[in-house]
Amino acid sequence: MSDNVIHVERISKLYHIGKKQEKYNTLRDSLANALVSPFRRAIKLLHGDATGASELNETIWALKDVSFDIKMGEVVGIIGRNGAGKSTLLKILSRITEPTKGFAEIRGRVGSLLEVGTGFHSELTGRENIFLNGAILGMKRTEIERKFDEIVDFSGVEKFIDTPVKHYSSGMYLRLAFAVAAHLETEILFIDEVLAVGDMEFQKKCLGKMQRIADEGRTVLFVSHNISAVNRLCSRTIWIDSGQLRLNGLTSDVIQHYLSSQLQGCISEIKFQPSSVNNEFQMKFIRIVSKDNEPTSLVDFKDSFKIEIGYELLAPLNGVSVLSRITDLQGNIICTSWDTDTTDWKDRVRKPDRYMSICTFPGSLFKPGRYLVSAGALTDKQLLAYHENILSFEISSANYFLNTGRIGIITPLFKWEVIHNGKNTIN
């Protein structure tokens, strides 16, 4: 017998978009439409216009002929741009929606964490929602009771467990929802972008929990835009692009091809439109600038450069930290730096105003090649913004004077001394 627990055969999903919403008609309108519709149809046919459902709809293939197999105990990542079809694939495999064509065979009990918080009722308490949500996700009451304390402890909302969740903050709500879903005892687990919820500390807990699930030998299908998490957790990765399977193979190889495809030339600056998502913090721009303070995507090996992050606070915030992160094309995080590392802003309240945090990187540090820049901001309690791999730049090899075969992600020039006095200095 095959050890494949998931077999996907040419799955396709067609959606109708742009359908016009019909207004409410009276009985008189309905009778009138019935009388004149044959004539309208004839006129449209004479003019060569479409009739029937096609005139009301456009179609889009969210998935097209996707096939793959997953063996028992594999942890497989699914990556791709927004709208590529990743979530649609998991919804089909979870039997939330049916494919237009093709089929999937799944052997084993399945747990799905697709939309965190599905099944929560705002009027019920956290305790009541644990039992309700657990039942919706397929857990038996005895299983929920046995895991109740562990779920509450993981969520960190013990003090509010008997409070209706309508009074929870969005972070508390999401933490409790993930805690319930993460404690499912299933052979197969589908996870869709759970690391986008909660603050940084809770995201680390989520990542640790997922690592333990993987170590237990359970089969996991993990959709995420967090490339470093995919690289860490998944031995194999599937790249979905515009509804089609673009690449299926070793995670490091797939990630490199995926990130390279996103670079239609390097991007040195991006500006943001006002957002209604966060009423306290607004990101304005992120850019890479040369030593001459000009936006650039090409940096000489010997030259320093800066990452400038502009933002506006619409309310006073305490404990704000702004970060810049540089990653290589394999998804390896080379370094992360915070604007509170070397300034006195760590414990200060940032008043409503416009700010710019600037991180300076010295020359002769990065090996020649392409790099990606992520940037964001958070407080001790919440993630304010995070834009992963939003900029890209290249370190030129023109003035790279070191050995090209040197091993290591970076090539810092440390201070060395060579002492020679004509004698053997080794005692």
- Percent of the chain exceeding pLDDT 90 equals 33
At a CB cut-off of 8 Å and minimum separation 6, what does 271 contact? 284, 285
Among 41-50, 107-116, 348-357, top mean pLDDT goes to 348-357
- Rounded CA gap, 240 and 224, in Å? 12
In the beta sheet, which residues pair with residue 55? none
Distance CA 114, CA 116 (A): 6
Residue 342 sits at the vertex; the CA angle it makes with 336 and 345, to the nearest 5 degrees, is 105
> What mean pLDDT comes out for the span 288-296?
92
Q: Which domains does the chain have, with CATH numbers?
A: 61-109+186-262 (3.40.50.300), 269-396 (2.70.50.60)
Tens-digit pLDDT profile for residues 215-244: 888 888 988 877 777 888 888 999 999 899
Strand 236-241 and strand 244-250: the pairing is antiparallel
Tokens for 173, please give them: 């709500």
Instruction: Report pLDDT digits (tens) over 363-391.
Output: 999 998 889 999 999 987 788 999 988 89
Instruction: pLDDT band for 2, please (50, 70, 90 cuts).
Output: low
Q: What is the pLDDT of residues 324-366, one digit of tens each?
A: 999 988 888 899 999 999 888 888 899 999 999 999 999 999 9
pLDDT for position 6: 93
Beta bridge partners of 11: 66
What is the phi/psi pair of residue 72, to 5°?
A: -60, 130
**Span of 49-58, 90-99, 250-259, 382-391 with lowest mean pLDDT:** 49-58
Residue type, 380: D
Block residue for tokens 């065979």: 105
Q: Region 131-141: what's the mean pLDDT? A: 79
Average of pLDDT values for 155-163? 91
Sign, CA torsion 159/163/168/172: positive
Flag whether pLDDT at 287 surpasses 90.
yes
- Strand ranges (E), 184-289: 188-192, 219-223, 236-241, 244-250, 269-271, 281-289
Q: How far apart are CA 105 and CA 206, in angstroms?
A: 28
pLDDT band at residue 128 using 50, 70 and 90 as cut-offs: very high
Is the separation of the CB atoms in 194 and 116 below 8 Å?
yes
Section 119-143 average pLDDT: 83
pTM as predicted: 0.59
Q: Mean of the per-residue pLDDT values for the chain?
A: 82
